[in-house]
């Protein structure tokens, strides 16, 4: 339900129009502050000898409009149920540039059922590279391998029973 009250004030144009603004301010005090929107418009002042018009209009919204569905809100704000495709269920394989041609490949988001130390041992043996396990506060346990091992890691994980749809490979 939308109602609109429009009051037109006519006054001789002076350089600052302060008295009109004060009259408009006094009129706004008569209306409750919520849920209304107040708009001040200044129409034409082409010549200081002509009269100018200030329009005051108030649009009121009904409270029913405030309870509408929010399309950008999360479906489950507490995060109790996560879908298979949610961000937390992905395994992320990233590459980081070190100095020169040296690179690091990082692997994060492994499910708890896999032992990261055994995976590092298998990666080091299969890919002929060095690797380490880093505990990060935000990311959790992150596996770091020397060199660009993104494709090798993803095929290794797919061959050992992890679905390809849960693996995201990032990088340049």
* Same domain, yes or no: 91 and 163: yes
* Same domain, yes or no: 109 and 50: no
| pLDDT score for 64 | 53
Instruction: Compute mean pLDDT per 10 residues along the chain, 172 residues long, and list them.
Output: 40 51 60 47 50 50 56 60 57 93 93 92 95 90 94 94 93 76
| H or E element that contains 152 | helix 150-159
* Same domain, yes or no: 61 and 96: no
* Same domain, yes or no: 117 and 60: no
pTM over 0.75: no
CA angle 44, 57, 26 (to 5 degrees): 95
| pLDDT score for 70 | 65
* Same domain, yes or no: 91 and 162: yes
* Same domain, yes or no: 92 and 59: no
| pLDDT score for 50 | 52
């Amino acid at each position: 339900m939308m109602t609109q009250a429009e009051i037109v004030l006519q006054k001789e144009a002076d350089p600052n129009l302060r008295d009109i603004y004060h009259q408009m301010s006094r009129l706004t005090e008569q209306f409750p502050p919520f849920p209304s929107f107040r708009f001040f418009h200044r129409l034409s002042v082409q010549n200081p000898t002509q009269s100018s018009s200030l329009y005051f209009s108030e649009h009121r919204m009904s409270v029913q409009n405030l309870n509408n569905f929010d399309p950008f809100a999360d479906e489950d704000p507490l995060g109790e149920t996560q879908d298979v495709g949610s961000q937390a269920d992905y395994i992320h394989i990233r590459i980081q540039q070190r100095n020169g041609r040296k690179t690091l490949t990082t692997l994060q988001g492994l499910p708890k059922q896999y032992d990261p130390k055994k995976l590092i041992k298998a990666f080091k043996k299969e890919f002929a590279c060095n690797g380490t396990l880093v505990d990060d506060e935000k990311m959790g346990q992150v596996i770091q391998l020397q060199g660009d091992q993104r494709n090798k890691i993803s095929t290794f994980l797919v061959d050992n029973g992890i679905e390809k749809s849960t693996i995201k490979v990032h990088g340049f």
